[in-house]
Amino acid sequence: MNEQVGKFLRTIVSTETQLWAGQESGVRVWNFTDAYEPGIGIGGRARRGDEDAAPFYESVNTSSTLCLMVDPGSKLVWSGHKDGKIRSWRMDQPYTDDSTLKEGLSWQAHRGPVISMTISSYGKSFFTWSKV
């Protein structure tokens, strides 16, 4: 069985310390400090296609992630999904070898896919767009 099926990346964002990617089944994060650490794939375990990858962490399975946005003021990464939901992910979440990313806030924002998000420069207003 190919464990990479449904895992291709759709969107990426970067913070000062992490790279976040939206994929068909959720989100994935790499910590830059782990880039040269021994260990490969999810939590240092090799998976088919990840043999040469830096360690990364994945979320629980979600609807396809279509857009990502970093909110450095609240230390959150926001994701917009094909099912119309918006989810938040803590940038400072502690990671262990077997942990999956746990979503924070989530809500049904639109009836159709969330295709874009932005936050105001002062961090008080949050805007989302959908096809519907």
pTM beyond 0.85, yes or no = no
- In DSSP terms, 42 is beta-bridged to 45, 56
Model confidence at 121, in pLDDT bands (50, 70, 90)? Answer: confident
Are 28 and 49 spatial neighbours (Cβ–Cβ below 8 Å)?
no
> What's the pLDDT score for residue 1?
32
pLDDT digits (tens, 9 = 90+) for 33-63: 877 665 555 555 555 446 566 778 889 899 9
Class of domain 9-130: mainly beta
